[in-house]
Amino acid sequence: MGKQLWWIGGFLLLHLNLYAQVDRGSLTGAVRDSSGLVVPGATVVASQNSTGLRRATITSRTGTYDLPELAVGTYTVAFGRQGFQTVKFERLEIAVEHTTTLNAVLQVSGAT
């Protein structure tokens, strides 16, 4: 019985140790237009350069977005919405257990 408890306790400690190691980061921010007004409904696409992994979201009615649990690495992030020019940020580093804030300003495109 003592050996069984030892094995169970060892397994639980190992499991907790593995669970604590996170290899993810997050990306968050806000999207505004050139006059400073928020841009709800803008598309935010983060593409990991080395793997091609793509994650996308839409800004909230307050112009904010959140992309949690991104794999660590280098990303290209694009922001767009109909009636605005697309904005791209290249070589953005997502680090382990770190939230990166990236805000974007969209310029109105030509005639709509």
Inter-CA distances, 95 with 38, 51, 55, 71, 88, Å: 27, 16, 16, 8, 19
21-30, 37-46, 98-107: segment of lowest average pLDDT = 21-30
Q: Model confidence at 8, in pLDDT bands (50, 70, 90)?
A: low
- Give the residue ranges of DSSP H helices in the chain: 2-20
Instruction: Please tell me what DSSP assigns to residue 50.
Output: T
Measured distance CA(45)–CA(84) in Å, rounded: 15
In the chain, the domains with their CATH numbers are: 23-106 (2.60.40.10)
User: What is the reported pLDDT for 26?
Assistant: 97
Largest CA distance in the chain: 78
**Mean pLDDT throughout 26-44?**
97
Partners of 36 in beta bridges = none
Tokens describing residue 62: 């307050």
Partners of 86 in beta bridges = none
pLDDT digits 0-9 by tens, 42-93: 999 999 999 999 999 999 999 999 999 999 999 999 999 999 999 999 999 9
Q: Model confidence at 104, in pLDDT bands (50, 70, 90)?
A: very high
User: What is the reported pLDDT for 110?
Assistant: 74
pLDDT digits 0-9 by tens, 12-28: 555 554 555 578 999 99
